[in-house]
Chains A and B, each alone.
Chain A
Protein backbone atom coordinates (compact mmCIF):
# COMPACT_ATOMS: atom_id res chain seq x y z
CA UNK A 1 0.00 0.00 0.00
CA UNK A 2 1.16 3.50 -0.66
CA UNK A 3 0.67 5.65 2.41
CA UNK A 4 3.07 8.36 1.40
CA UNK A 5 2.13 10.58 -1.44
CA UNK A 6 5.78 11.54 -1.71
CA UNK A 7 6.95 7.95 -1.71
CA UNK A 8 8.35 8.35 -5.19
CA UNK A 9 11.08 10.48 -3.73
CA UNK A 10 12.41 7.57 -1.70
CA UNK A 11 14.73 5.45 -3.77
CA UNK A 12 13.75 2.11 -2.20
CA UNK A 13 10.58 0.29 -1.27
CA UNK A 14 12.32 -2.49 0.59
CA UNK A 15 15.75 -3.06 2.05
CA UNK A 16 18.13 -5.48 0.42
CA UNK A 17 21.09 -4.60 2.57
CA UNK A 18 22.54 -1.88 4.72
CA UNK A 19 26.30 -1.46 4.74
CA UNK A 20 28.02 0.56 7.37
CA UNK A 21 31.48 1.13 5.97
CA UNK A 22 34.31 2.31 8.24
CA UNK A 23 32.05 4.69 10.13
CA UNK A 24 33.89 7.04 12.43
CA UNK A 25 32.47 9.81 14.57
CA UNK A 26 34.06 11.70 17.39
CA UNK A 27 32.63 14.25 19.78
CA UNK A 28 34.95 16.76 21.42
CA UNK A 29 38.01 14.81 20.39
CA UNK A 30 36.97 11.42 21.74
CA UNK A 31 35.69 8.67 19.51
CA UNK A 32 32.04 7.69 19.80
CA UNK A 33 32.25 5.32 16.86
CA UNK A 34 35.55 4.17 15.42
CA UNK A 35 36.02 2.47 12.08
CA UNK A 36 32.80 0.49 12.37
CA UNK A 37 31.89 -1.75 9.48
CA UNK A 38 28.79 -3.89 9.53
CA UNK A 39 26.47 -5.40 6.95
CA UNK A 40 22.81 -5.79 7.78
CA UNK A 41 20.67 -8.05 5.65
CA UNK A 42 17.23 -6.99 4.53
CA UNK A 43 14.48 -8.44 6.70
CA UNK A 44 16.62 -9.22 9.72
CA UNK A 45 16.44 -7.78 13.19
CA UNK A 46 19.91 -6.87 14.27
CA UNK A 47 20.41 -5.94 17.90
CA UNK A 48 23.23 -3.57 18.74
CA UNK A 49 24.35 -4.18 22.29
CA UNK A 50 27.12 -2.67 24.33
CA UNK A 51 27.80 -0.72 27.48
CA UNK A 52 26.86 2.96 27.78
CA UNK A 53 29.06 5.01 25.50
CA UNK A 54 29.89 2.10 23.21
CA UNK A 55 28.49 3.99 20.22
CA UNK A 56 25.20 2.15 19.70
CA UNK A 57 22.97 5.22 19.53
CA UNK A 58 25.47 7.24 17.52
CA UNK A 59 25.59 4.42 14.97
CA UNK A 60 21.81 4.34 14.75
CA UNK A 61 21.59 8.09 14.25
CA UNK A 62 24.14 8.02 11.48
CA UNK A 63 21.78 5.79 9.52
CA UNK A 64 18.99 8.38 9.44
CA UNK A 65 21.45 11.28 9.31
CA UNK A 66 20.53 12.78 12.65
CA UNK A 67 24.32 12.60 13.03
CA UNK A 68 26.73 12.84 10.11
CA UNK A 69 29.82 10.62 10.29
CA UNK A 70 33.28 12.19 10.22
CA UNK A 71 34.46 9.37 8.01
CA UNK A 72 32.92 6.37 6.33
CA UNK A 73 29.59 5.88 4.60
CA UNK A 74 26.20 4.32 5.20
CA UNK A 75 24.86 2.55 2.14
CA UNK A 76 21.29 1.38 1.86
CA UNK A 77 20.80 -0.90 -1.15
CA UNK A 78 24.22 0.41 -2.21
CA UNK A 79 22.94 4.01 -2.29
CA UNK A 80 24.86 6.32 0.05
CA UNK A 81 22.38 7.90 2.47
CA UNK A 82 24.43 11.09 2.19
CA UNK A 83 23.10 11.49 -1.33
CA UNK A 84 19.49 11.57 -0.12
CA UNK A 85 17.92 14.64 1.39
CA UNK A 86 17.55 14.04 5.17
CA UNK A 87 13.84 14.86 5.15
CA UNK A 88 13.16 12.30 2.42
CA UNK A 89 15.53 9.73 3.91
CA UNK A 90 13.96 9.95 7.36
CA UNK A 91 10.46 9.60 6.01
CA UNK A 92 11.51 6.21 4.65
CA UNK A 93 12.38 4.84 8.08
CA UNK A 94 10.55 4.53 11.39
CA UNK A 95 12.24 5.75 14.54
CA UNK A 96 11.36 4.70 18.08
CA UNK A 97 13.12 6.06 21.17
CA UNK A 98 13.11 5.23 24.86
CA UNK A 99 11.36 8.44 25.91
CA UNK A 100 8.69 7.74 23.25
CA UNK A 101 8.74 11.37 22.07
CA UNK A 102 4.95 11.51 21.87
CA UNK A 103 3.75 15.08 21.43
CA UNK A 104 1.89 15.80 24.68
CA UNK A 105 -0.61 18.21 23.10
CA UNK A 106 -1.76 15.82 20.40
CA UNK A 107 -4.12 12.89 20.76
CA UNK A 108 -2.97 9.34 20.24
CA UNK A 109 -4.38 9.28 16.72
CA UNK A 110 -2.83 12.64 15.82
CA UNK A 111 0.51 11.41 17.11
CA UNK A 112 0.34 8.19 15.12
CA UNK A 113 -0.88 9.99 12.01
CA UNK A 114 1.78 12.71 12.23
CA UNK A 115 4.17 11.20 9.66
CA UNK A 116 1.22 10.94 7.27
CA UNK A 117 -0.06 14.43 8.05
CA UNK A 118 3.24 16.02 7.13
CA UNK A 119 3.25 13.96 3.94
CA UNK A 120 -0.18 15.45 3.09
CA UNK A 121 -2.01 12.13 3.14
CA UNK A 122 -5.83 12.60 2.98
CA UNK A 123 -7.52 12.67 6.39
CA UNK A 124 -9.80 9.68 5.84
CA UNK A 125 -6.85 7.57 4.79
CA UNK A 126 -4.94 8.65 7.89
CA UNK A 127 -7.91 7.76 10.11
CA UNK A 128 -8.13 4.29 8.58
CA UNK A 129 -4.41 3.73 8.88
CA UNK A 130 -4.37 4.90 12.52
CA UNK A 131 -7.09 2.41 13.44
CA UNK A 132 -5.29 -0.48 11.85
CA UNK A 133 -1.99 0.52 13.49
CA UNK A 134 -3.66 0.76 16.90
CA UNK A 135 -5.02 -2.74 16.42
CA UNK A 136 -1.59 -3.94 15.36
CA UNK A 137 -0.03 -2.72 18.60
CA UNK A 138 -2.97 -4.13 20.55
CA UNK A 139 -4.64 -0.96 21.66
CA UNK A 140 -8.38 -0.72 21.13
CA UNK A 141 -8.87 2.12 18.61
CA UNK A 142 -12.18 3.32 20.10
CA UNK A 143 -10.78 3.47 23.61
CA UNK A 144 -7.43 5.01 22.86
CA UNK A 145 -7.47 7.14 19.73
CA UNK A 146 -8.78 10.30 21.42
CA UNK A 147 -6.62 10.08 24.52
CA UNK A 148 -3.63 12.26 25.22
CA UNK A 149 -0.24 10.67 25.91
CA UNK A 150 -0.44 11.73 29.58
CA UNK A 151 -3.50 9.51 29.95
CA UNK A 152 -1.54 6.42 28.90
CA UNK A 153 0.68 4.10 30.90
CA UNK A 154 4.34 3.76 30.00
CA UNK A 155 3.73 0.56 28.07
CA UNK A 156 0.81 2.05 26.15
CA UNK A 157 2.87 5.11 25.26
CA UNK A 158 5.60 2.87 23.89
CA UNK A 159 3.05 1.00 21.78
CA UNK A 160 1.80 4.31 20.37
CA UNK A 161 5.41 5.29 19.63
CA UNK A 162 5.84 2.04 17.71
CA UNK A 163 2.59 2.58 15.82
CA UNK A 164 3.72 6.06 14.80
CA UNK A 165 7.03 4.70 13.55
CA UNK A 166 5.13 2.22 11.41
CA UNK A 167 2.66 4.78 10.05
CA UNK A 168 4.29 5.24 6.67
CA UNK A 169 4.80 1.51 6.30
CA UNK A 170 8.57 1.99 6.25
CA UNK A 171 10.87 -0.81 5.09
CA UNK A 172 13.30 0.00 7.91
CA UNK A 173 12.71 0.56 11.60
CA UNK A 174 15.30 2.12 13.90
CA UNK A 175 14.67 1.47 17.58
CA UNK A 176 16.74 3.04 20.33
CA UNK A 177 16.16 1.24 23.62
CA UNK A 178 12.40 1.31 23.11
CA UNK A 179 11.65 -0.73 26.22
CA UNK A 180 14.45 0.72 28.34
CA UNK A 181 12.27 2.85 30.58
CA UNK A 182 9.73 0.15 31.41
CA UNK A 183 9.70 -2.04 34.47
CA UNK A 184 11.05 -5.59 33.94
CA UNK A 185 7.66 -7.32 33.90
CA UNK A 186 6.19 -4.95 31.35
CA UNK A 187 9.38 -5.02 29.34
CA UNK A 188 9.19 -8.81 28.98
CA UNK A 189 5.55 -8.57 28.00
CA UNK A 190 6.21 -5.96 25.32
CA UNK A 191 9.22 -7.88 24.04
CA UNK A 192 7.07 -10.94 23.48
CA UNK A 193 4.37 -8.87 21.83
CA UNK A 194 6.93 -7.16 19.69
CA UNK A 195 8.16 -10.55 18.47
CA UNK A 196 4.58 -11.27 17.41
CA UNK A 197 4.19 -7.92 15.67
CA UNK A 198 7.51 -8.36 13.95
CA UNK A 199 6.27 -11.56 12.33
CA UNK A 200 3.56 -9.55 10.57
CA UNK A 201 5.90 -6.80 9.45
CA UNK A 202 8.72 -8.58 7.69
CA UNK A 203 10.81 -5.42 7.68
CA UNK A 204 14.41 -4.70 8.55
CA UNK A 205 14.89 -3.60 12.14
CA UNK A 206 17.94 -2.17 13.86
CA UNK A 207 17.45 -2.40 17.57
CA UNK A 208 19.71 -0.72 20.12
CA UNK A 209 19.68 -2.07 23.64
CA UNK A 210 22.00 -2.51 26.57
CA UNK A 211 19.94 -5.46 27.77
CA UNK A 212 21.63 -8.62 26.53
CA UNK A 213 18.52 -10.68 27.30
CA UNK A 214 16.48 -8.45 25.09
CA UNK A 215 19.06 -8.67 22.32
CA UNK A 216 19.11 -12.47 22.48
CA UNK A 217 15.36 -12.74 22.64
CA UNK A 218 14.62 -10.41 19.75
CA UNK A 219 17.70 -10.38 17.57
CA UNK A 220 18.24 -12.56 14.55
CA UNK A 221 21.80 -11.42 14.92
CA UNK A 222 23.49 -9.51 17.70
CA UNK A 223 26.37 -7.07 17.33
CA UNK A 224 28.39 -6.26 20.42
CA UNK A 225 29.95 -2.82 20.23
CA UNK A 226 32.84 -1.92 22.47
CA UNK A 227 34.36 1.54 22.65
CA UNK A 228 32.89 2.48 19.31
CA UNK A 229 34.05 -0.60 17.42
CA UNK A 230 32.41 -3.85 16.48
CA UNK A 231 33.63 -6.49 18.90
CA UNK A 232 31.51 -9.49 18.03
CA UNK A 233 28.75 -10.27 15.58
CA UNK A 234 26.63 -13.35 15.16
CA UNK A 235 23.44 -15.16 16.01
CA UNK A 236 22.70 -15.40 19.72
CA UNK A 237 23.89 -18.98 19.84
CA UNK A 238 27.08 -18.08 17.93
CA UNK A 239 27.81 -15.48 20.55
CA UNK A 240 27.09 -17.84 23.42
CA UNK A 241 29.56 -20.29 22.03
CA UNK A 242 32.09 -17.62 21.16
CA UNK A 243 31.85 -16.31 24.71
CA UNK A 244 33.83 -19.32 25.92
CA UNK A 245 36.96 -17.97 24.29
CA UNK A 246 36.20 -14.28 24.45
CA UNK A 247 36.64 -12.67 27.85
CA UNK A 248 34.87 -9.43 26.91
CA UNK A 249 31.88 -11.19 25.40
CA UNK A 250 31.79 -13.60 28.31
CA UNK A 251 31.94 -10.69 30.71
CA UNK A 252 29.09 -8.99 28.92
CA UNK A 253 26.90 -12.05 28.85
CA UNK A 254 28.14 -13.17 32.25
CA UNK A 255 26.97 -9.98 33.79
CA UNK A 256 23.42 -10.94 33.04
CA UNK A 257 23.89 -14.28 34.65
CA UNK A 258 24.92 -12.55 37.84
CA UNK A 259 22.12 -10.05 37.72
CA UNK A 260 19.58 -12.81 37.39
CA UNK A 261 21.21 -14.96 40.08
CA UNK A 262 20.96 -18.11 38.07
CA UNK A 263 22.51 -20.25 40.75
CA UNK A 264 20.10 -19.39 43.51
CA UNK A 265 18.34 -22.42 44.97
CA UNK A 266 14.92 -21.09 43.95
CA UNK A 267 14.90 -23.42 40.99
CA UNK A 268 15.62 -26.65 42.78
CA UNK A 269 13.23 -25.93 45.62
CA UNK A 270 10.37 -25.17 43.35
CA UNK A 271 10.63 -27.64 40.52
CA UNK A 272 8.26 -30.54 40.56
CA UNK A 273 9.23 -33.58 38.51
CA UNK A 274 5.75 -34.17 37.22
CA UNK A 275 5.41 -30.64 35.93
CA UNK A 276 8.12 -30.53 33.42
CA UNK A 277 8.56 -28.44 30.82
CA UNK A 278 8.19 -26.15 27.95
CA UNK A 279 5.77 -23.73 26.42
CA UNK A 280 7.00 -23.47 22.90
CA UNK A 281 5.73 -20.86 20.53
CA UNK A 282 4.24 -22.47 17.44
CA UNK A 283 6.68 -25.31 17.60
CA UNK A 284 6.31 -28.39 15.54
CA UNK A 285 9.06 -30.85 14.98
CA UNK A 286 9.54 -29.83 11.38
CA UNK A 287 9.39 -26.17 12.26
CA UNK A 288 12.29 -26.28 14.63
CA UNK A 289 15.38 -24.76 13.17
CA UNK A 290 18.58 -23.21 14.21
CA UNK A 291 18.02 -20.26 16.52
CA UNK A 292 14.41 -21.04 17.06
CA UNK A 293 13.42 -19.69 20.41
CA UNK A 294 11.80 -21.84 23.01
CA UNK A 295 10.50 -20.19 26.09
CA UNK A 296 10.29 -22.14 29.29
CA UNK A 297 7.63 -20.79 31.57
CA UNK A 298 7.61 -21.17 35.29
CA UNK A 299 4.67 -20.23 37.43
CA UNK A 300 5.03 -18.23 40.63
CA UNK A 301 5.83 -21.41 42.54
CA UNK A 302 8.69 -22.06 40.18
CA UNK A 303 6.96 -24.99 38.48
CA UNK A 304 7.54 -25.31 34.78
CA UNK A 305 4.52 -25.38 32.54
CA UNK A 306 3.51 -26.78 29.23
CA UNK A 307 4.27 -30.06 27.62
CA UNK A 308 7.62 -30.86 26.24
CA UNK A 309 7.52 -30.53 22.46
CA UNK A 310 8.39 -33.56 20.39
CA UNK A 311 10.89 -31.62 18.42
CA UNK A 312 13.17 -31.22 21.37
CA UNK A 313 13.68 -34.91 21.86
CA UNK A 314 17.32 -35.74 22.05
CA UNK A 315 18.29 -34.85 18.54
CA UNK A 316 17.97 -31.10 18.53
CA UNK A 317 20.89 -29.23 19.99
CA UNK A 318 19.85 -26.50 22.36
CA UNK A 319 21.71 -24.02 24.47
CA UNK A 320 20.30 -22.05 27.34
CA UNK A 321 20.53 -18.44 26.38
CA UNK A 322 19.46 -17.00 29.63
CA UNK A 323 17.52 -17.84 32.66
CA UNK A 324 15.62 -15.37 34.65
CA UNK A 325 14.47 -16.32 38.11
CA UNK A 326 12.57 -13.08 38.66
CA UNK A 327 10.49 -13.77 35.57
CA UNK A 328 10.36 -17.53 36.02
CA UNK A 329 11.45 -17.85 32.50
CA UNK A 330 14.24 -19.26 30.43
CA UNK A 331 15.09 -19.07 26.79
CA UNK A 332 16.59 -22.04 25.01
CA UNK A 333 18.41 -21.58 21.78
CA UNK A 334 18.85 -24.35 19.32
CA UNK A 335 22.37 -24.38 18.05
CA UNK A 336 24.02 -25.96 15.09
CA UNK A 337 26.89 -27.13 17.19
CA UNK A 338 26.77 -29.59 20.02
CA UNK A 339 24.55 -32.61 20.16
CA UNK A 340 22.81 -32.26 23.45
CA UNK A 341 19.60 -30.90 24.73
CA UNK A 342 20.42 -28.75 27.67
CA UNK A 343 17.76 -28.82 30.29
CA UNK A 344 17.98 -26.36 33.05
CA UNK A 345 17.93 -28.34 36.21
CA UNK A 346 20.10 -29.14 39.12
CA UNK A 347 18.58 -32.48 40.07
CA UNK A 348 18.90 -35.30 37.52
CA UNK A 349 16.40 -37.42 39.47
CA UNK A 350 13.66 -34.92 38.89
CA UNK A 351 13.49 -35.55 35.19
CA UNK A 352 14.01 -39.28 35.13
CA UNK A 353 11.55 -41.11 32.92
CA UNK A 354 11.00 -38.03 30.79
CA UNK A 355 12.14 -38.50 27.28
CA UNK A 356 13.86 -35.20 26.90
CA UNK A 357 17.33 -36.15 25.91
CA UNK A 358 20.29 -35.41 28.04
CA UNK A 359 19.91 -33.70 31.30
CA UNK A 360 22.63 -31.21 31.96
CA UNK A 361 23.18 -29.89 35.42
CA UNK A 362 23.22 -26.22 36.16
CA UNK A 363 26.92 -26.35 36.87
CA UNK A 364 27.54 -28.00 33.57
CA UNK A 365 25.53 -25.35 31.80
CA UNK A 366 27.58 -22.72 33.49
CA UNK A 367 30.67 -24.47 32.32
CA UNK A 368 29.34 -24.88 28.84
CA UNK A 369 28.41 -21.26 28.58
CA UNK A 370 31.03 -19.52 30.55
CA UNK A 371 33.98 -21.87 30.78
CA UNK A 372 35.17 -23.25 34.06
CA UNK A 373 35.01 -20.03 36.08
CA UNK A 374 31.89 -20.98 38.01
Chain B
Protein backbone atom coordinates (compact mmCIF):
# COMPACT_ATOMS: atom_id res chain seq x y z
CA UNK B 1 0.00 0.00 0.00
CA UNK B 2 2.64 2.54 1.12
CA UNK B 3 5.00 1.19 -1.50
CA UNK B 4 2.30 1.83 -4.14
CA UNK B 5 1.86 5.40 -2.97
CA UNK B 6 5.59 6.06 -3.05
CA UNK B 7 5.79 4.55 -6.51
CA UNK B 8 2.92 6.78 -7.70
CA UNK B 9 4.54 9.85 -6.25
CA UNK B 10 7.90 9.14 -7.79
CA UNK B 11 6.30 8.42 -11.19
CA UNK B 12 4.46 11.75 -11.13
CA UNK B 13 7.54 13.52 -9.77
CA UNK B 14 9.78 12.28 -12.58
CA UNK B 15 7.18 12.55 -15.36
CA UNK B 16 6.35 16.20 -14.63
CA UNK B 17 9.90 17.07 -13.65
CA UNK B 18 8.91 18.46 -10.25
CA UNK B 19 12.56 18.90 -9.18
CA UNK B 20 13.17 21.46 -11.91
CA UNK B 21 9.82 23.11 -11.26
CA UNK B 22 10.64 23.35 -7.55
CA UNK B 23 13.93 24.98 -8.44
CA UNK B 24 12.17 27.49 -10.70
CA UNK B 25 9.49 28.03 -8.11
CA UNK B 26 12.02 28.86 -5.40
CA UNK B 27 13.99 31.08 -7.77
CA UNK B 28 10.86 33.09 -8.55
CA UNK B 29 10.06 33.26 -4.87
CA UNK B 30 13.62 34.22 -3.87
CA UNK B 31 13.80 36.94 -6.52
CA UNK B 32 10.51 38.37 -5.32
CA UNK B 33 11.61 38.39 -1.67
CA UNK B 34 14.93 39.97 -2.57
CA UNK B 35 13.17 42.74 -4.51
CA UNK B 36 10.69 43.22 -1.68
CA UNK B 37 13.55 43.78 0.75
CA UNK B 38 15.47 46.05 -1.62
CA UNK B 39 12.42 48.18 -2.33
CA UNK B 40 10.40 47.76 0.84
CA UNK B 41 12.98 48.56 3.51
CA UNK B 42 14.08 51.93 2.09
CA UNK B 43 10.46 52.81 1.38
CA UNK B 44 9.52 51.85 4.93
CA UNK B 45 12.39 53.87 6.40
CA UNK B 46 11.42 56.83 4.24
CA UNK B 47 7.81 56.45 5.31
CA UNK B 48 8.96 56.29 8.94
CA UNK B 49 11.00 59.48 8.90
CA UNK B 50 9.07 61.58 6.38
CA UNK B 51 5.80 63.29 7.16
CA UNK B 52 4.62 62.33 3.68
CA UNK B 53 5.37 58.69 4.36
CA UNK B 54 1.79 57.67 4.82
CA UNK B 55 1.19 58.42 1.12
CA UNK B 56 3.08 55.23 0.24
CA UNK B 57 0.97 53.29 2.65
CA UNK B 58 -2.18 54.66 1.00
CA UNK B 59 -1.00 53.64 -2.46
CA UNK B 60 0.05 50.19 -1.30
CA UNK B 61 -3.24 49.81 0.50
CA UNK B 62 -5.08 50.37 -2.79
CA UNK B 63 -2.91 47.78 -4.55
CA UNK B 64 -3.60 45.40 -1.69
CA UNK B 65 -7.32 45.78 -2.27
CA UNK B 66 -7.05 44.33 -5.79
CA UNK B 67 -7.55 40.54 -5.63
CA UNK B 68 -4.22 38.83 -6.30
CA UNK B 69 -5.40 36.95 -9.36
CA UNK B 70 -6.77 40.20 -10.86
CA UNK B 71 -3.45 41.93 -10.18
CA UNK B 72 -1.64 39.15 -12.05
CA UNK B 73 -3.89 39.53 -15.07
CA UNK B 74 -3.73 43.34 -14.96
CA UNK B 75 0.05 43.17 -15.21
CA UNK B 76 0.05 41.07 -18.37
CA UNK B 77 -0.48 44.04 -20.76
CA UNK B 78 2.51 45.76 -19.14
CA UNK B 79 4.94 42.92 -18.61
CA UNK B 80 3.68 40.16 -20.86
CA UNK B 81 3.18 36.68 -19.45
CA UNK B 82 5.57 34.45 -17.56
CA UNK B 83 7.96 35.19 -14.72
CA UNK B 84 7.98 38.98 -14.93
CA UNK B 85 4.32 39.67 -14.05
CA UNK B 86 4.43 36.97 -11.38
CA UNK B 87 7.40 38.52 -9.64
CA UNK B 88 5.96 42.01 -10.13
CA UNK B 89 2.63 40.96 -8.61
CA UNK B 90 4.34 39.23 -5.69
CA UNK B 91 6.44 42.32 -5.02
CA UNK B 92 3.56 44.79 -5.32
CA UNK B 93 1.32 42.66 -3.18
CA UNK B 94 3.88 41.95 -0.47
CA UNK B 95 5.37 45.42 -0.18
CA UNK B 96 2.59 46.67 2.05
CA UNK B 97 3.33 44.51 5.11
CA UNK B 98 7.06 45.26 4.89
CA UNK B 99 6.69 49.01 4.35
CA UNK B 100 3.91 49.36 6.89
CA UNK B 101 5.68 47.35 9.59
CA UNK B 102 8.96 49.18 9.02
CA UNK B 103 7.20 52.50 9.32
CA UNK B 104 5.29 51.38 12.42
CA UNK B 105 8.47 50.00 13.96
CA UNK B 106 10.34 53.26 13.43
CA UNK B 107 7.55 55.45 14.76
CA UNK B 108 6.53 53.51 17.85
CA UNK B 109 9.83 53.61 19.75
CA UNK B 110 9.44 54.58 23.41
CA UNK B 111 9.72 58.38 23.43
CA UNK B 112 12.22 58.44 26.28
CA UNK B 113 14.71 56.46 24.17
CA UNK B 114 14.57 59.11 21.45
CA UNK B 115 14.80 61.79 24.13
CA UNK B 116 17.92 60.19 25.59
CA UNK B 117 19.44 59.97 22.12
CA UNK B 118 18.84 63.68 21.65
CA UNK B 119 20.09 64.50 25.14
CA UNK B 120 23.31 62.58 24.46
CA UNK B 121 23.85 64.84 21.47
CA UNK B 122 23.08 62.29 18.74
CA UNK B 123 22.23 63.50 15.26
CA UNK B 124 18.94 62.42 13.68
CA UNK B 125 20.86 59.93 11.56
CA UNK B 126 22.61 58.45 14.60
CA UNK B 127 19.28 58.10 16.37
CA UNK B 128 17.92 56.28 13.33
CA UNK B 129 20.94 53.99 13.01
CA UNK B 130 21.59 53.26 16.68
CA UNK B 131 18.12 53.46 18.23
CA UNK B 132 15.16 53.49 15.87
CA UNK B 133 16.15 51.02 13.17
CA UNK B 134 17.50 48.24 15.43
CA UNK B 135 14.46 48.47 17.67
CA UNK B 136 12.10 48.28 14.70
CA UNK B 137 13.66 45.02 13.46
CA UNK B 138 11.22 42.66 15.23
CA UNK B 139 8.29 44.39 13.53
CA UNK B 140 10.15 44.53 10.21
CA UNK B 141 10.73 40.79 10.47
CA UNK B 142 7.03 40.27 11.13
CA UNK B 143 6.27 42.17 7.94
CA UNK B 144 8.76 40.12 5.97
CA UNK B 145 7.21 36.94 7.30
CA UNK B 146 3.81 38.04 6.01
CA UNK B 147 5.46 38.93 2.70
CA UNK B 148 6.95 35.42 2.52
CA UNK B 149 3.50 33.86 2.84
CA UNK B 150 1.93 36.23 0.30
CA UNK B 151 4.73 35.73 -2.21
CA UNK B 152 4.59 31.96 -1.95
CA UNK B 153 0.91 32.12 -2.84
CA UNK B 154 1.34 34.49 -5.77
CA UNK B 155 4.30 32.61 -7.23
CA UNK B 156 2.11 29.49 -7.22
CA UNK B 157 -0.70 31.43 -8.85
CA UNK B 158 1.79 32.55 -11.51
CA UNK B 159 1.49 29.05 -12.93
CA UNK B 160 -1.70 30.09 -14.71
CA UNK B 161 0.04 32.87 -16.64
CA UNK B 162 2.99 30.78 -17.74
CA UNK B 163 5.45 31.52 -14.96
CA UNK B 164 6.24 27.80 -14.72
CA UNK B 165 7.17 26.84 -11.19
CA UNK B 166 5.07 24.41 -9.22
CA UNK B 167 1.93 26.35 -10.08
CA UNK B 168 2.34 25.10 -13.65
CA UNK B 169 2.28 21.48 -12.48
CA UNK B 170 -0.80 22.17 -10.42
CA UNK B 171 -2.41 23.80 -13.45
CA UNK B 172 -1.52 20.75 -15.54
CA UNK B 173 -3.07 18.46 -12.93
CA UNK B 174 -6.30 20.45 -13.01
CA UNK B 175 -6.64 20.59 -16.79
CA UNK B 176 -5.83 16.87 -17.18
CA UNK B 177 -7.87 15.89 -14.15
CA UNK B 178 -4.78 14.12 -12.75
CA UNK B 179 -5.64 13.77 -9.07
CA UNK B 180 -2.26 12.28 -8.13
CA UNK B 181 -0.42 15.21 -9.69
CA UNK B 182 -2.72 17.72 -7.97
CA UNK B 183 -2.27 16.05 -4.58
CA UNK B 184 1.49 15.58 -4.85
CA UNK B 185 2.11 19.14 -6.09
CA UNK B 186 -0.40 20.70 -3.73
CA UNK B 187 1.02 18.97 -0.68
CA UNK B 188 4.57 19.76 -1.77
CA UNK B 189 3.77 23.45 -2.23
CA UNK B 190 2.07 23.44 1.15
CA UNK B 191 5.11 21.84 2.75
CA UNK B 192 7.45 24.38 1.13
CA UNK B 193 5.25 27.25 2.31
CA UNK B 194 5.25 25.91 5.86
CA UNK B 195 9.06 25.55 5.73
CA UNK B 196 9.53 29.12 4.47
CA UNK B 197 7.17 30.44 7.11
CA UNK B 198 9.00 28.49 9.80
CA UNK B 199 12.36 29.89 8.69
CA UNK B 200 10.93 33.43 8.60
CA UNK B 201 9.32 32.83 11.98
CA UNK B 202 12.62 31.74 13.50
CA UNK B 203 14.28 34.88 12.15
CA UNK B 204 11.48 36.96 13.61
CA UNK B 205 11.81 35.28 16.99
CA UNK B 206 15.57 35.72 16.95
CA UNK B 207 15.26 39.42 16.12
CA UNK B 208 12.59 39.88 18.78
CA UNK B 209 14.90 38.36 21.36
CA UNK B 210 17.86 40.38 20.16
CA UNK B 211 16.17 43.72 19.52
CA UNK B 212 12.81 43.40 21.22
CA UNK B 213 11.91 46.06 23.75
CA UNK B 214 10.31 44.35 26.73
CA UNK B 215 8.58 47.24 28.36
Contacts and interface: CB of A to CB of B under 8 A. Distances in A.
Interface of A: 64, 66, 86-91, 95, 97, 99, 101, 103-105, 114-115, 118, 150, 164, 174
Interface residues of B, number: 21
Interface in B157-215: 210-214
Contacts of B121: 86-91, 115, 118
Contacts of A90: 118-121
Contacts of A174: 119
Nearest to A174: B119
Contacts of B126: 118
| Prevailing SS type, chain B contact patch | helix
Contact of B112 (A101, A114, A115): A101
Given A97-B112, A99-B112, A114-B130, A104 B118 contact: no
A365 to B, nearest CB: 41
Given A101-B113, A104-B135, 20 more contacts: A66-B115, A86-B121, A87-B122, A88-B121, A90-B118, A90-B119, A90-B120, A91-B121, A101-B112, A103-B116, A103-B131, A103-B135, A104-B212, A105-B210, A105-B213, A115-B120, A118-B120, A118-B130, A164-B120, A174-B119
Interface string B106-124: 0000101101101111110
30 contacts: A86-B121, A87-B123, A89-B121, A90-B118, A90-B119, A90-B120, A91-B121, A95-B116, A95-B119, A95-B120, A97-B116, A99-B110, A101-B112, A101-B115, A101-B116, A103-B116, A103-B131, A104-B211, A105-B134, A105-B210, A105-B211, A105-B212, A114-B120, A115-B121, A118-B120, A118-B121, A118-B130, A150-B214, A164-B120, A174-B119
A104 to B, nearest CB: 5
B118 to A, nearest CB: 6
B131 to A, nearest CB: 6
The 8 closest A-B pairs by CB, nearest first: A101-B116, A91-B121, A95-B119, A90-B121, A99-B112, A105-B211, A87-B121, A104-B213
A149 to B, nearest CB: 9
B214 A104 contact: yes
A245 to B, nearest CB: 39
B211 to A, nearest CB: 4
Given A95-B120, A118-B122, A150-B214, A103 B112 contact: no
Contacts of B214: 104, 150
A103 B119 CA distance: 14
Contacts of B135: 103-105
Contacts of B116: 95, 97, 101, 103
A103 B135 CA distance: 9
A66 B119 contact: yes
A126 to B, nearest CB: 14
Contacts of A164: 120
Contacts of A105: 134-135, 210-213
